[in-house]
Amino acid sequence: MKVFIYTGNVKREGSFLQYTVSQISQEILQILGEEIAISTYPNGKYGKIDYCDGCALCFYGEVCHLDDDVEAIKKELENSDIVIFASPVYSHAVSGSFKSFIDRITHWAHYFNLAGKIGITITVCNSNGYEDVQKYLASTMMSLGCYVTNEIVLKTAIHSKPIVNSVVRGEIRKLKRIIDQNKILIDDLQEEAFQNYKDLHLASAGIPFEKVIWIETGLMESKTYKDYFKKKSRIFK
């Protein structure tokens, strides 16, 4: 099983978010199994992420013209089974570095490119403004196709390291139960978006490149998004 973690903070020394991410990695290895490979981005090898310049050609099937590490990171993300999006709260929003990455993959939302993958959100703040960030991270993951199983919120003002450890352990135990019970809960909004896109492509009213993807991936022939998600999943049967 492969775990992909994207952290939206540049700060490394003494970072509460980095501490939380390293704890979650440890608990995943301990609770879900040693065979798991965990990669965290950005990192020393893949760290250059430029701002989207708005050309929007990715929506028409073209490889991004920006010369940075995003295409390599996207391949790792596509090849994962569990995706973790972790952001600090900056002025009641995700950090700029996190948003820069989301802008670069947002075209995937038109064909649920992360279908079959589990999504986990981590929102870290001092004390306030986390609600919008938590919601944003979860809805972004859902629009990309993930099944969001865990939404973790931690506050530096009240959560000491032992509390972080116990919250994270509880969340990964919950995740293990979900996997063991083979329990997929697809959000109504995901089903609604799936039907809307499907109608659009059946009427050939959308972007032709995306219609081809809908046909080639099997999205078009799936009755529900849940059916498609199950077909794509390497975790759930």
Residues forming contacts to ligand FMN in the complex (CB under 6 A) are 9, 11, 15-18, 88-92, 124-129, 156
Shortest distance, CB of residue 217 to ligand FMN, whole angstroms?
36
CA-nearest of 174, 193, 185 to 27 is: 174
For residue 160, count other CB atoms closer than 10 A to its CB. 9
Residue 129 Ramachandran class (φ > 0 left, ψ -120 to 50 alpha, else beta): left
- Nearer to ligand FMN by Cβ, of 74 and 159: the residue is 159
- Nearer to ligand FMN by Cβ, of 86 and 193: the residue is 86
- Nearer to ligand FMN by Cβ, of 92 and 177: the residue is 92
- Looking only at the bridges linking them, the beta strands covering 82-90 and 2-7 are parallel
Instruction: Give yes or no for a contact between 186 and 225, defined as CB atoms under 8 angstroms apart.
Output: yes
Shortest distance, CB of residue 10 to ligand FMN, whole angstroms?
9
- Looking only at the bridges linking them, the beta strands covering 118-125 and 93-94 are unpaired
Shortest distance, CB of residue 14 to ligand FMN, whole angstroms?
6
Shortest distance, CB of residue 175 to ligand FMN, whole angstroms?
22
- Nearer to ligand FMN by Cβ, of 155 and 230: the residue is 155
For residue 47, count other CB atoms closer than 10 A to its CB. 12
Shortest distance, CB of residue 5 to ligand FMN, whole angstroms?
14
- Nearer to ligand FMN by Cβ, of 24 and 64: the residue is 24
Residue 57 CA to residue 136 CA, distance in Å, equals 24
